[in-house]
A and B are shown apart, each in its own frame.
Chain A
Amino acid sequence: MREPKDSYLTNGYSLKSWLLTKDHKRIALMYLISISVFFFMGGLYAAAIRLELLTPGSDLLQSATYNKAFTQHGILMIFFFLIPSIPATLGNFLLPLMIGAKDLALPRINLLSLYLYWIGGLLTLYALMQGGVDTGWTFYTPYSTTFSNSYVMAVGLGIFINGFSSILTGLNFIVTIHTMRAPGMTWFRLPLFVWAHYATSLVMILGTPVIAITVLLLAIERVVKVGIFDPAIGGDPILFQHLFWFYSHPAVYIMILPGMGVISEVISSFSRKKIFGYEFIAFSSIAIAVFGFLVWGHHMFVSGQSIYAGLVFSFLTMVVAVPSAIKVFNWTATMYKGSISYDTPMLYAIGFLGLFLVGGLTGLFLGSVGLTVHLTDTYFVVAHFHYVMVGGQVIAYLAGIHYWWPKMTGKMYSEFWGKVSAMLVFVGFNLTFFPQFILGYQGMPRRYASYPAEFQVLNIFSTAGASVLGVGLLMPVVYLTHSIFAGKPAGDNPWMLPGLEWRTQSPPPTLNFDEQPVVTWEAYEFGEESGLDLEEARRAAGRPSVV
């Protein structure tokens, strides 16, 4: 046995030992801190937006400021928090551990992708300090190319560079999953978290170049005045929307598939039940990634595209909703006849099921083309995508952080505060976003700094909910940080789980495993076949903990 202190965290304390590390676990931690900073900043903008919308007039923020607030909120949240969120932190940390590898296949590339993320992020922050950008995160032309006087170029460049970070991460994951699996780790023994990341990586490497090219074209038009998107100089503004959504629709799957992967792990682990329909969940991830490339037009139903294009995109949108439904059924069925414990990660995961269900079902409303003509560009859309992106991915991210925190840090956080935060986030989230569905059907347009007085009551609910949500999201920052210094030691495998990441010490050593693991059990086998000494663990744990 090695000394417990000897881990990836103790392998050098200098700044240089972090900044030049090739250890996927250290890189993951640096990502974790960086995306948290961006999340916090995006959150400040959100707070400003919600406060402004407390009253119908545009009094707290003038239109000019408000427009920048929602644009920058969107840009920070989507490109600098949500897209890297699970893949760059949990994915980076866990993928090698889960497949029994020493590191990712391309450790230097991994560090490079972190640096690209930082450069893109800093450039964007610089642009925001200089005066910011007001085009909406969607950069629709010709407003963004010809009319906006804000820092479109600098932010565009930031997103462009950040895109390469995403491409490199995706590439690294795919190579790693193909080449670095431990002996015995067959494709169908991979945890679903790994399958989800495989699908995500496909989207990252196939989709991201398109947004890079789009941003580049935008820059060319803005600087050299070549007519690409602006009809005044011979371009086509709708072309921009096609290019933008060709990436950005698949990108929404970058923002949910990893979350689905986390939920598969958590639900199975805390029900101590093999996941129901493993192959169906695995293949539905791939199906979502592939079909996700065919539905971009459902963001453009009222853009002036032809009726027939609208019908085709509506049809395909309905088809792509089915794999998501399959996953929800399988997760629910996994709990049947399980042994379910109510630890914090599980509470978050159950919250995810409820919220993702609402998000997915309202996606059907928006995919039904006759209905979406009324709903698009209203608060209904805002509510829908927050249900999937926050209610889905962010909640899954929190579930994952709580689930693997003992592994990452070797420390246990306060279960009590964990549960309180899970509840607050769930309640606050619903109070914030559910009223927006009603507002949307009533017709309140999105991106409005001021609005007719009749919409005020529901907006007050929404702002009140946002404060609860804000508190719920800040709490983990406090108690998780506290646990690093004062938490109980977690032990290597606090929940007696079979996954490879639980079979090494917490926190893991720099090379992950003391000896090369060999896999002889199927995924999600919680019993004796997995070779874990459950009797011993039960004795050590004493009485069962029924809550």
Chain B
Amino acid sequence: MQTDSWIPLFPESASSFSWQVDALYFYLIGISVAFMIPIVAAIFWFVVRYREREKFATPDEIHGSIVLETVWSIIPFVISMTIFLGGAVVYYTQYRMPEDAMQVYVVGKQWMWKIQHETGQREINELHVPVNTKVKLTMTTEDVLHDFSIPAFRTKADVVPGRYTYLWFEATKPGTYHLFCAEYCGLNHSGMIGSVVVMEQNDFESWLQGNASNLTPVEQGRDLFENKLGCASCHAGGSGQRGAVLENIYGKEVKFVGGSSTIVDDEYLRNSILNPSSQVVEGYQPIMPTFKGQVTEEQLISLVAYIKSLSGVDASATAPSAPAAPAPAPANNMGSNSNQGGR
């Protein structure tokens, strides 16, 4: 599957925007050829036509030409602007995240990809997704930089420790595609590979069923929040508590002591758990302890998912509607992909 493609030497093109990248590529090849042919032809022509006929000859001087210089500055400039604009449009499609996408969480780690679905399934070095569905990855890493790269979808993004980066795609063809780590990450960098398995909706549904799910991230987050980490001792029960109210906070603006403010997003929530004193909300004391070193990246993802769910932004609300009736799935989509658990 991964080897055959419709043009030999050309990779499979399997996402909603991969054709745009290909179009840009062919446009640039066209421009390159259009530049190279006249220049190379001129070089050959001059070299042959004006070869030395008399030793130390002194051909007539030509000083240059303002007109020519202007023309051959402006033409490349205009062309380069079309390339810039084309690139900008495609980039915007690749890197602006859709609102209504299925969420998947990715944690990179030397040298594996740990993946968690909203429904609780976990996988390692494999990502199963339904075809024709927007998928948004929220990614971070436990150690060094990595890069989540799927050549067949023509997209990639670095995965950076200490923050979230995002990637989205909509696969258009069922199949199995390469997943590479594209940012050098040490010893076994070239072993940090895997596959993205794109399945028909029905197959995906039964894959989900076949992988009896763990707790979903929201459920895990609630467990951490209420029991394991004890966040609830300050943050539960609405106003009047020592901790800030978290219900309906997502997407709202919060004001900090000192006057600045921000919109609450994943990054903000993550940072509030790790570095609470760096952004104290107006009306509260800086008493929250840091949880740095006590929570793993995966637990953080669950906590953030849970806090988001308190604002009604939860898995089921954003997940795509898929046919509910499970269809018999091909065996190869099942067995080998049994639940692989965490680390």
* A interface residues with partner B (beta carbon < 8 Å): 58, 63-64, 67, 134, 136, 140, 142-143, 146-148, 230-232, 236-238, 271-274, 276-280, 301-304, 307, 310-311, 314-315, 318-319, 321-322, 325-326, 328-330, 332-333, 335-342, 350, 353-354, 357-358, 361-362, 364-365, 367-374, 376-378, 438, 441-443, 445-452, 454, 458, 495-496, 525-528, 534, 537-538, 541, 543-547
Contact between A354 and B40 (Cβ–Cβ < 8 Å)?
A: yes
Contact between B73 and A377 (Cβ–Cβ < 8 Å)?
A: no
User: Which of A64, A231, A537 counts the most chain B CB atoms within 10 A?
Assistant: A231
CA distance A388 to B20 in the complex (A): 27
- Measured CB to CB, the closest approach of chain A to B318, in angstroms, equals 22
Contact between B28 and A368 (Cβ–Cβ < 8 Å)?
A: yes
CA distance A161 to B189 in the complex (A): 30
A-B Cβ contacts below 8 A, count: 308
Across the interface, B182 reaches (CB within 8 A) one of A273, A341, A445, namely A445
Contact between A142 and B161 (Cβ–Cβ < 8 Å)?
A: yes
B234-260 CB mask vs A (1 if < 8 Å, else 0) is 000000000000000000000000000
Given contacts A272-B58, A336-B50, A442-B9, are A280 and B25 in contact (CB under 8 A)? no
| Residues of A contacting B89 in the complex (Cβ-Cβ under 8 angstroms) | 370
Listed from nearest, the 7 A-B pairs whose CB atoms lie closest are: A443-B151, A370-B90, A231-B162, A368-B87, A527-B58, A448-B190, A277-B64
Contact between A371 and B180 (Cβ–Cβ < 8 Å)?
A: no
Subset of 9 A-B contacts with CB under 8 Å:
A142-B144, A272-B52, A274-B63, A278-B63, A302-B158, A318-B80, A341-B51, A371-B24, A371-B90
- Measured CB to CB, the closest approach of chain A to B245, in angstroms, equals 28
CB of B329 closer than 8 Å to a CB of A: no
CA distance A57 to B19 in the complex (A): 32
**What residue of chain B has the Cβ atom nearest to residue A303's Cβ?**
B158
B1-41 CB mask vs A (1 if < 8 Å, else 0) is 01100000111000000001100110010011001100110
CB of B62 closer than 8 Å to a CB of A: yes
CA distance A276 to B59 in the complex (A): 13
Contact between A546 and B53 (Cβ–Cβ < 8 Å)?
A: yes
**Total B residues in contact with A, Cβ cutoff 8 Å:** 89
CB of B326 closer than 8 Å to a CB of A: no
Across the interface, A443 reaches (CB within 8 A) one of B47, B178, B181, namely B178
Further pairs besides A277-B69, A318-B80: 12, Cβ < 8 Å: A142-B144, A278-B64, A304-B165, A335-B47, A354-B43, A364-B83, A369-B90, A374-B154, A374-B155, A377-B147, A448-B190, A527-B61
Across the interface, A322 reaches (CB within 8 A) one of B64, B76, B157, B184, namely B76
Q: Which B residues, 172 to 187, have Cβ-Cβ distances below 8 Å to chain A? A: 178, 180-187
CA distance A342 to B35 in the complex (A): 25
| Residues of B contacting A362 in the complex (Cβ-Cβ under 8 angstroms) | 32
CB of B145 closer than 8 Å to a CB of A: yes
* B interface residues with partner A (beta carbon < 8 Å): 2-3, 9-11, 20-21, 24-25, 28, 31-32, 35-36, 39-40, 42-43, 46-47, 50-65, 68-69, 72-73, 76-77, 80-81, 83-84, 86-96, 110, 143-145, 147, 149, 151-152, 154-158, 160-163, 165, 178, 180-191, 193
Across the interface, A353 reaches (CB within 8 A) one of B35, B43, B88, namely B43
Contact between B46 and A365 (Cβ–Cβ < 8 Å)?
A: no
Contact between B161 and A231 (Cβ–Cβ < 8 Å)?
A: yes
**What residue of chain A has the Cβ atom nearest to residue B5's Cβ?**
A442
Contact between B92 and A307 (Cβ–Cβ < 8 Å)?
A: yes
Contact between B62 and A143 (Cβ–Cβ < 8 Å)?
A: no
User: Which of A238, A273, A304, A454 counts the most chain B CB atoms within 10 A?
Assistant: A304
Contact between B145 and A361 (Cβ–Cβ < 8 Å)?
A: no
Contact between B32 and A336 (Cβ–Cβ < 8 Å)?
A: no
Given contacts A231-B163, A357-B39, are A147 and B90 in contact (CB under 8 A)? no
Contact between B155 and A143 (Cβ–Cβ < 8 Å)?
A: no
User: Which of B84, B95, B149, B162 counts the most chain A CB atoms within 10 A?
Assistant: B84
**What residue of chain A has the Cβ atom nearest to residue B177's Cβ?**
A443
CA distance A289 to B62 in the complex (A): 27
CA distance A301 to B185 in the complex (A): 18
Across the interface, A370 reaches (CB within 8 A) one of B57, B91, B157, B160, namely B91
| Residues of A contacting B151 in the complex (Cβ-Cβ under 8 angstroms) | 374, 378, 442-443
User: Which of B68, B80, B149 counts the most chain A CB atoms within 10 A?
Assistant: B80
Contact between A148 and B186 (Cβ–Cβ < 8 Å)?
A: yes
| Residues of A contacting B47 in the complex (Cβ-Cβ under 8 angstroms) | 335, 340, 342, 350
Contact between B152 and A443 (Cβ–Cβ < 8 Å)?
A: yes
**What residue of chain A has the Cβ atom nearest to residue B77's Cβ?**
A322
| Residues of B contacting A438 in the complex (Cβ-Cβ under 8 angstroms) | 9
**What residue of chain A has the Cβ atom nearest to residue B110's Cβ?**
A147
Contact between A314 and B84 (Cβ–Cβ < 8 Å)?
A: yes
Across the interface, A326 reaches (CB within 8 A) one of B28, B57, B73, namely B73
- Measured CB to CB, the closest approach of chain B to A281, in angstroms, equals 9
Given contacts A339-B52, A350-B43, are A274 and B28 in contact (CB under 8 A)? no
Contact between B80 and A321 (Cβ–Cβ < 8 Å)?
A: yes
CA distance A537 to B55 in the complex (A): 9
| Residues of B contacting A301 in the complex (Cβ-Cβ under 8 angstroms) | 91
Contact between B143 and A361 (Cβ–Cβ < 8 Å)?
A: no
| Residues of B contacting A442 in the complex (Cβ-Cβ under 8 angstroms) | 9-11, 151
Contact between A338 and B68 (Cβ–Cβ < 8 Å)?
A: no
| Residues of A contacting B55 in the complex (Cβ-Cβ under 8 angstroms) | 537-538, 541, 543-545
Contact between B191 and A302 (Cβ–Cβ < 8 Å)?
A: no
| Residues of B contacting A446 in the complex (Cβ-Cβ under 8 angstroms) | 184
Contact between A302 and B147 (Cβ–Cβ < 8 Å)?
A: yes
Given contacts A454-B2, A496-B56, are A67 and B186 in contact (CB under 8 A)? yes
**What residue of chain B has the Cβ atom nearest to residue A329's Cβ?**
B72
| Residues of A contacting B35 in the complex (Cβ-Cβ under 8 angstroms) | 357, 361
| Residues of A contacting B189 in the complex (Cβ-Cβ under 8 angstroms) | 63, 67, 447-449
Contact between B88 and A370 (Cβ–Cβ < 8 Å)?
A: yes
Given contacts A231-B161, A280-B64, A538-B56, are A374 and B21 in contact (CB under 8 A)? yes
| Residues of A contacting B186 in the complex (Cβ-Cβ under 8 angstroms) | 67, 134, 143, 147-148
